[in-house]
Homo-oligomer: A and B are copies of this chain.
Amino acid sequence: MPDPAARSLRTRRSGLVGVVIPDLTNPVLAPIVQGAEETLRAAGFGCLLADTDNDPAREEAAIAELEARRCEGLVIATARRRSPAVERLAKHGPAAVLVTRGLDTGALPLVAADDAHGVAAAVRHLVALGHRHLAHLTGPRDLSTTARRARAVRESAKAFERSGVDVVVRHGAGFTIADGRRLGRALLSAHPEVTAIVAGNDMIALGCLDAMAEAGLRCPEDVSLVGHNDMPFVDRLEPALTTVAIPQRALGVRAAEVLLGRLAGEAVAPEPLVLPTELVVRGSTAPPPAARRS
């Protein structure tokens, strides 16, 4: 059984890949990490996990540490649209692949879900139910996911402009339940005309549910709600959450595969790899109340 340190010293290969994630506690991430880990392991790589707790400073420290440990590749799920620490990897440092959250510059390969498609389906669904005044409550502006989803909501709503459809878009500080609660409270009091909310992710949707309950509004009778990600267990909530399902495990697997390709010297397509999404209609969406219907 050869000594990996000696081999590594000689071959300059560590057999290690770093996986940088914003928060293991967010249930969407588990299948992504699992898929990546399994794929990487099958290819003979070990997975060094680093949780940044959504903190850019910790992200930078984590990347530095992973580089110091001579990881051959990095799977990064924490990138912001402009992230000096991440962007630098495009020039120097180990091969890196981004999952879900991409860079504005597109300097690094990205594996992401087709959020625009899913969100457009959500808006169509709500409009077909009779909703005219929509809201989009989402996370920080500096994430590509947020930007993509917000743009898709705006454009989809705009396509129904002649039917009197409008949408108010609000960004929060993060993607937590507490952020969703804050956003929901503010929206509900400022825009009582809104009968349907498209949340930037399922955590925000959960917070919206809390805000509705506080305001004495029922979901879906008074306000409809669509989440994003279809994370585990949202199908068992009351009401079961209508949400845009992303292929969680596949995102991890494909990201790992793209990274393995890069490590094997393959040229990587400059275009993001986009995986399909699907609107899963459950109990949190319904026609708007008659009194509010336009």
Interface of A is mostly: mixed
Chain B: CB-nearest residue to A237: B236
Closest CB in chain B relative to A41 CB, distance in Å:
7
Does A168 interact with chain B (Cβ within 8 Å)?
no
Inter-chain CA distance A288–B70, complex, in Å, is 61
Q: Which residues of B contact A8 (CB under 8 A)?
A: 5, 8
Question: CB distance B51 to A4 under 8 Å?
Answer: no
| Interface membership of chain A positions 50-69, coded 1 if the CB is closer than 8 angstroms to chain B and 0 otherwise | 11000000000000010011
Contact A236 B206 (CB under 8 A): yes
**A190 to B41 alpha-carbon distance, docked (Å):** 44
A206 to B69, CA, bound (A): 42
| CB contact under 8 A between A9 and B3, given known A25-B34, A38-B51, A48-B48 | yes
Known A47-B49, A49-B49: A4·B70 in contact at CB below 8 Å: yes
Shortest CB distance A184–B (Å):
15
**What residues of chain B lie closer than 8 Å to A50, measured between beta carbons?**
37, 41, 47
A48 close to B51 (CB less than 8 A)? no
Contact with B along A172-210 (1 / 0, CB 8 A): 000000000000000000000000000000000010010
Q: Are A31 and B38 in contact (CB under 8 A)?
A: no
A residues engaging B (CB < 8 A)? Answer: 1, 3-6, 8-9, 14-15, 19, 24-25, 27, 30-31, 33-34, 37-38, 41, 46-51, 65, 68-70, 206, 209, 232-233, 236-238
